[in-house]
Amino acid sequence: SADEISAAEDWFAERNADRAPGPYSGAATGDNIIVLQVEALQQFVINAEVNGQEITPNLNRLIREGLYFPNFYEQTALGRTSDAEFLLNTSLYPTAEGSAYMLYAENSYDALPAILQEKGYQTNVFHPYKPSFWNRYIIYPQLGIDRFYSEGDFDEAEVIGWAINDEALLEQSLAEMETMEQPFYSHIVTLTSHHPFEMPERLQALDTDGYNGYHDRHFRNYLQSIHYVDGAIGKFVDALEQKGMLDNTMLAIYGDHSTGMTSDTEAFIRFTGAQDPFDYFETNKNVPLILNIPGVEPNQFSQVASQLDLAPTLLDILGGDPSAHHFIGRDMWDTDESQATFRDGSFITNELTYIASSDGIDENGSCYWRMTGELMGVEACEEPRVNGAKELEISDDMLRGNLLEKFNREP
Ligand code: GP9
């Protein structure tokens, strides 16, 4: 309706009026960007050990050398990997039912790849699976992707799980990037660490003693699989460095979504200690984010940030202007307003955690003081809850009405 259109336009105008450049604004202007979206990579393996061995030594090194957000959260829903892509590309929320990639593939989007394309970037995605899966081949042109390297575009290599292994994926993607006109935007979507995380015996390099039981198998396999992917990422980054590409290429690495291990996965709970609903919620939604910007000193940022914030934050670092677009997310350094809102209305701010009623504990949801995990009255969570609900509503309206096409884009 006309009301919906103008309400959404006003909402974006207000959000955009609030935007200010972040501390790394323009730091990677004109550089290439590689976004490495890692299948099922969760935060709890980062800087963690099993039987005295680092699970992710290469990511840990990249964290020490880059900008690291330990309080970064994934917001995917039923669209899983495609939702993480959608959040990155559009800074809109996934849909509550089905998936945006399937339901709204032909909408118009104000998407990060399209914005970079306009700035002269070659835009591409590397993912070694069927192009029709998650409808990618339909939606990518709408998002401004010039070229999608899918299953048939890769040379033969050992298949692990669903596709050629990540080491081969990364090696072949890099060979392709070397021949590309610069600057480029390359989104690599890895796949080896997909559920049920089974790896060939010879690639199970970790000693997972203590997790030998039949019911521990998913957890044990997950550690092996993530350890392997970490090694593949390490080789990829070393190769980028050797080729001198890190001098003018920004890297963003993050986990797409949780592993699917629930609070019933005893080994997962034993390892993480995330026993009660509050700890489990935080642990389950937490994925790492690492940014590596040429010439920028390492640093760690403890504010809450989320996948929704990727597009505005990355665009700002690349020298673009997020306030000229329709992103719901915020700059990750806009810390007064840090909030990760989830599809069911739950959220995490720097101070509060709100778990919506779906947890079955309280039909009004549960509001916690985040630093201590202390349960508060739900009123304490009211303001961010209302703000988060509004964002979800705006996002849904945008998708259902394909509103972008209806906005008056004249100044
Ligand atoms: C396959 C891959 C699957 O293309 O993206 O990921 P999923 O959504 O099942 O995690």
Q: Is 81 noted as a catalytic residue in this protein?
A: yes
Would you place residue 234 in the very low, low, confident or very high pLDDT band (cuts 50, 70, 90)?
very high
Q: Which whole number is the average pLDDT over 103-107?
A: 97
Strand partners, 305: 72
80 lines ligand 1 (CB under 6 A): yes
Handedness of CA 24, 25, 29, 32 (dihedral sign): positive
Q: How far is the CA of 129 from the centre of ligand 1 (A)?
A: 9
ipTM higher than the 0.95 cut: yes
Q: Residue 292 above 60 pLDDT?
A: yes
Q: What pLDDT digit, counting tens, does each position of 354-397 carry?
A: 999 755 556 789 999 999 999 999 999 999 999 999 999 999 99
Q: Whose CA is nearest to atom 10 of ligand 1?
A: 81
Q: Cis link prior to 196 (omega < 30° from 0)?
A: yes
When the pLDDT of each residue in the chain is averaged and rounded to a whole number, the result is 96
- Please tell me the predicted confidence (pLDDT) of residue 265: 87
396 token code pair: 């849904």
CA distance 220 to 224: 6
- Please tell me the predicted confidence (pLDDT) of residue 411: 40
CA distance 261 to 59: 22
Q: How far is the CA of 81 from the centre of ligand 1 (A)?
A: 5
- Please tell me the predicted confidence (pLDDT) of residue 280: 94
Probe target for ligand 1 pocket from 159, 191, 225, with the most ligand atoms within 8 Å of CB:
191
385 lines ligand 1 (CB under 6 A): no
DSSP state of 173: H
Which residue among the candidates 81, 95, 265, 272 is catalytic per the annotation?
81
Q: Which residues of 251-275 are buried (b: 16+ CB within 10 A; e: fewer)?
A: bbbbbbbbbebebebebbbebbebe
Q: How far is the CA of 94 from the centre of ligand 1 (A)?
A: 15
Amino acid sitting at position 326: H
Q: Residue 404 above 50 pLDDT?
A: yes
Would you place residue 410 in the very low, low, confident or very high pLDDT band (cuts 50, 70, 90)?
very low
Probe target for ligand 1 pocket from 126, 127, 134, 140, with the most ligand atoms within 8 Å of CB:
134
CA distance 39 to 168: 15
107 token code pair: 């909408």
Q: Which whole number is the average pLDDT over 37-66?
A: 98
Helix-, strand-, coil-residue percentages of the chain, each rounded to 5: 45, 15, 40
Which residue matches tokens 């019911």? 215
136 lines ligand 1 (CB under 6 A): no
- Please tell me the predicted confidence (pLDDT) of residue 1: 83
Q: How far is the CA of 20 from the centre of ligand 1 (A)?
A: 35
Q: What pLDDT digit, counting tens, does each position of 107-146 carry?
A: 999 999 999 999 999 999 999 999 999 999 999 999 999 9
Helix (H) or strand (E) holding 349: strand 347-349
Q: How far is the CA of 228 from the centre of ligand 1 (A)?
A: 18
Helix (H) or strand (E) holding 30: none
Which residue matches tokens 């202390």? 374
Would you place residue 262 in the very low, low, confident or very high pLDDT band (cuts 50, 70, 90)?
confident
Tell me the chain's radius of gyration from C-alpha atoms: 20
